[in-house]
């Protein structure tokens, strides 16, 4: 994948890959065709206006969720164990799977970054989740693992039904943009379902997660260093789920086509069914969607 892309300098991201490779040891020296670690050359484009609007909308919904969370019962967090957190998330993920294997990775989460992937060998789908020493609270990790990364595993497993694809195209490039759109759509769905279930702590954490995705945009209130030179990726966590969820509810004329183009069959249908139900049961979600529809339709 890296060899096929004409990237000369990868800045902080190339540096991270080099550090990972040193740790891996068995992977050998960095190949000559790897991007070097000089800063990414040329200007980095600004965040698009439609994304700033999406950011305000998503952060506003996050604030509403946090205010709602304060009125809900406080459930007990799930222990810091990957399998238990993924099992908790099953009921909030529209197409849950449990076909992955868990591998221990002796690096911290910031160095590992993406912990979901397809690797050669078992299981049938090739899906793997890396267990890394946690730097988060059990509740933060419960949402990352049980909802967001769980949704990534479901997505990979769905695409591998005809046989494993290693690596999966969903791990890189345009495929990664779809993957993050799906994981964020599942987070928003889970937030509403957790409101309906009276899971106050999960709702608060999911709401805070939405606010954080808006604040971390380059030029945002709390920009994240890792996204400074990746505006397209930073944007997709905000606009991507709105596009998928508005498509899931019918949306404008292009919505169904968009849904079919980016998210395949049953994965799209199960998301659509659950989100339609969630909006019917929780009016603020329907209002959020109406605003999202105006925004995605206007772009």
CB closer to Zn ion, 125 vs 181: 181
Helix (H) or strand (E) holding 28: none
CA of 28: how far to CAs of 19, 112, 188, 204, 231, in Å? 12, 18, 41, 44, 32
Minimum distance from CB of 183 to Zn ion (Å)? 4
Minimum distance from CB of 130 to Zn ion (Å)? 13
> Cα–Cα distance between 143 and 149 in angstroms, integer?
8
Check if the beta carbon of residue 214 is closer than 8 Å to that of residue 61: no
CB closer to Zn ion, 175 vs 252: 175
> Cα–Cα distance between 177 and 237 in angstroms, integer?
8
CB closer to Zn ion, 68 vs 168: 168
CB closer to Zn ion, 72 vs 157: 157
CB closer to Zn ion, 171 vs 180: 180
Minimum distance from CB of 170 to Zn ion (Å)? 10
Minimum distance from CB of 238 to Zn ion (Å)? 13
Minimum distance from CB of 254 to Zn ion (Å)? 25
Structure tokens at 108: 């911290």
DSSP state of 46: P
| Contact residues for Zn ion, defined by CB under 5 A | 180, 183
Check if the beta carbon of residue 160 is closer than 8 Å to that of residue 118: yes
> Cα–Cα distance between 14 and 287 in angstroms, integer?
42
């Amino acid at each position: 994948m890296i060899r096929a892309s004409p990237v000369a300098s990868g800045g902080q991201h190339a540096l991270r890959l080099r550090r990972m490779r040193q740790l891996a040891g068995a992977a050998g020296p960095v190949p000559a065709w790897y991007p070097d670690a000089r800063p990414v050359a040329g200007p980095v484009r600004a965040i698009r206006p439609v994304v700033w609007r999406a950011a305000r909308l998503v952060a506003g919904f996050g604030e509403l969720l946090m205010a709602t969370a304060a009125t809900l019962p406080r459930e007990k967090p799930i222990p810091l164990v990957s399998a238990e957190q993924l099992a908790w998330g099953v009921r909030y993920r529209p197409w849950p799977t449990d076909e992955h294997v868990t591998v221990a990775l002796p690096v911290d989460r910031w160095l590992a970054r993406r912990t979901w992937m397809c690797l050669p060998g078992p299981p049938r789908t090739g899906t793997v989740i890396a267990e890394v020493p946690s730097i988060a609270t059990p509740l933060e990790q419960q949402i990352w693992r049980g909802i967001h990364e769980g949704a990534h595993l479901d997505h990979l497993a769905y695409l591998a039904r005809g046989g494993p694809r290693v690596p999966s195209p969903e791990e890189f490039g345009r495929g990664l943009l779809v993957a993050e759109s799906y994981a964020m759509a599942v987070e928003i769905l889970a937030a509403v379902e957790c409101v309906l279930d009276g899971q106050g702590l999960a709702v608060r954490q999911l709401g805070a997660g939405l606010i954080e995705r808006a604040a971390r945009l380059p030029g945002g209130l709390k920009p994240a260093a890792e996204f400074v030179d990746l505006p397209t990726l930073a944007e997709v966590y905000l606009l991507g789920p709105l596009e998928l969820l508005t498509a899931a509810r019918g949306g404008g004329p292009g919505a169904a086509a968009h849904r079919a183009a980016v998210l395949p069959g049953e994965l799209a249908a199960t998301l659509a069914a659950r989100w339609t139900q969630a909006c019917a049961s929780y009016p603020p979600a329907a209002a959020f969607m109406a605003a999202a529809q105006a925004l995605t339709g206007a772009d």
